[in-house]
Amino acid sequence: MEVVPLSGETPRVGRANHQPYYFQRNKRSVWKREGDTTVKPERNDNRKEKLCKFWASGNCVKGDRCPFLHSWSHGDHVSIIATLQGHTQAVTGIAYPSGGDKLYSGSMDGTLRVWNCHTGQCERVIDLGAEVCSLIQEGPWIFVGLPNLVKAWNTQRSAEFSLDGPVGQVYAMIFDKNILFAGTQNGQILAWKVSPENETTTNPFQPAHVLEGHNQGIECLTIGRNMLYSGSFDGTIKKWDLGTLQCLATAKGHSRAVMSLACWDNYLVSCSLDGTIKAWGATQDNGVEVCYTHEEKQGVLALGGMSIPVIENEEERHDILFCSCDDNSVHLYELPSFQKKGRVFTRQEARSIHFQDGNGGLFFIGDGTGLITVGKMTC
């Protein structure tokens, strides 16, 4: 991906040369139930770096004598290679279709932008007239969550459809097989079944089901092992059977809003404004319980995971968890140890994290100012 270099930082070349919602691998389970005497994963807090705010604004006069970091990233295996500027408010969704040359982004400024991945230039701006709170991609489809509405674009056929039914903002969406799920501000999860298109004038999305149970807005959705998981502002996580669309369990462990969910190995990973990241394991009665809790010093806003091949042995891979915190940075941890692997700094809190689908190690972070940071991870 050829893009415009980030001002103030020299791109670093890696030694070598996934969906954002979940990543699963067959690794040995190491997280035990909380209260077990088994030693928990260790945290490495030895390397603490702070971004120089004067350097970030372009006017640090101390140069090499400055005790703070003069870089938008920290860590041997992470580098920032470009930024995409154009949005004027928080970026709430990013999509990079596999094999394509276009990047899509949605923002609270009410626009959808289409970027050329070879030049880093914005090719098209679509004014939606309302705040975009979520954006995902599935095949040729781009889905955008708006107040009381979901917009669907078929990028191959230039067809556009409106999906009515949501009440309030659509904060989260996810696609599974032929069903689109959308979590809404009133606590419902709406499901539309997708039928083959016969004509561009025929709407292929038909309402299929409404999942109810949360008493506050749905903030995040993820899918793993034929289960749908939803996180809410009410602090709970619900587990839904994708076959029956029935709620199997409600998990209560966070004291504040559940902001993001991801599936890793046999675990569900969640983050919250209460400053914790929790790993949940299945119980014999189809429920979930906390196996491990990782504590941050501030609220955690978003999660994302990617698998990186090891340079010396490409059959071996490292699983990296990206955690956006409200300290204007994204913390990188290797799973399952939670060993720190780096950090990416942003101008404001990161609202969205997206990864290149494949093994390229490319990631995209959208922050509260509207800036999209493009980086690369290697191991």
Whether 201 is in a domain gets the answer yes
What Cα–Cα distance (Å) separates residue 209 from each residue in 82, 143, 243, 324? 42, 18, 12, 32
* Residue 275 lies in domain: 68-377
Task: List the CATH number of the domain containing 121.
Answer: 2.130.10.10
Whether 5 is in a domain gets the answer no
* pLDDT tens, position by position, 301-311: 999 988 877 66
Whether 25 is in a domain gets the answer no
Q: How many domains does the chain fold into? A: 1
Burial tier of 297 (Cβ tally within 10 Å: 0-12, 13-18, 19+):
exposed
Residues 6+ apart with CB under 8 A from 114: 102, 103, 104, 122, 123, 124, 125, 126
Whether 2 is in a domain gets the answer no
Rounded CA-CA distance 123/110 in Å is 17
pTM across the whole model: 0.87
Q: Which residues of 183-194 are buried (b: 16+ CB within 10 A; e: fewer)?
A: bbbebbbbbbeb
Whether 284 is in a domain gets the answer yes
* pLDDT tens, position by position, 36-67: 655 555 544 433 578 998 998 888 998 888 98
* pLDDT tens, position by position, 210-246: 999 999 999 999 999 899 999 999 999 999 999 999 9
Whether 137 is in a domain gets the answer yes
What Cα–Cα distance (Å) separates residue 71 from each residue in 180, 274, 363, 365? 40, 29, 17, 16
